[in-house]
């Protein structure tokens, strides 16, 4: 079974600075996807960024980028120029394709607080 581990329960960063959230996972699969979701107090899970395991190039989405190390099974999220609106719970998630749809497994989450 796949497991996702986020070892940082809470992180803080000053506005405009850079912060990195860690994630490791365990799987025997070769083809899979990794995601970072953001969950603000409104509770809606918002997709931040995703990475295909077969791609060596790290994904980027504006201020968000990942450092994907497939051999090490590591998938960290870097947030540049942090903004107050980035304050939220961040979840790392692993997805593999199953016969009927996709199976998504989440980590326990990291609370990120951006300070002014």
81 Cβ neighbours under 8 A, 6+ residues apart: 16, 17, 18, 63
Interaction between residue 97 and other proteins (CB under 8 A): yes
* Element of type H or E holding 2: none
Interaction between residue 7 and other proteins (CB under 8 A): no
Interaction between residue 84 and other proteins (CB under 8 A): no
Q: Please, which residue, 38 or 82, has the CB nearer to other proteins? A: 38
Q: Please, which residue, 35 or 82, has the CB nearer to other proteins? A: 35
CA pair distance 51, 57, nearest whole angstrom: 9
15, 26, 52, 61: which one binds other proteins (CB under 8 A) = 52
Q: Which stretch binds other proteins (CB under 8 A): 19-27, 44-52, 56-64, 76-84?
A: 44-52
């Amino acid at each position: 079974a796949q497991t996702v581990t986020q070892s940082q329960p809470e992180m803080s960063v000053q506005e405009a600075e850079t912060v990195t959230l860690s994630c490791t996972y365990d799987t025997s699969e070769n083809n899979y996807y990794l995601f970072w979701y953001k969950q603000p107090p409104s509770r809606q899970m918002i997709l931040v960024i995703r990475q295909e395991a077969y791609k060596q190039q790290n994904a980027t989405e504006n201020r968000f980028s990942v450092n994907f190390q497939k051999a090490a099974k590591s998938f960290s999220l870097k947030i540049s120029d942090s903004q107050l609106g980035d304050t939220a719970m961040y979840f790392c998630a692993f997805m593999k394709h199953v016969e009927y749809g996709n199976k998504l497994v989440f980590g326990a989450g990291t609370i990120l607080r951006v300070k002014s």
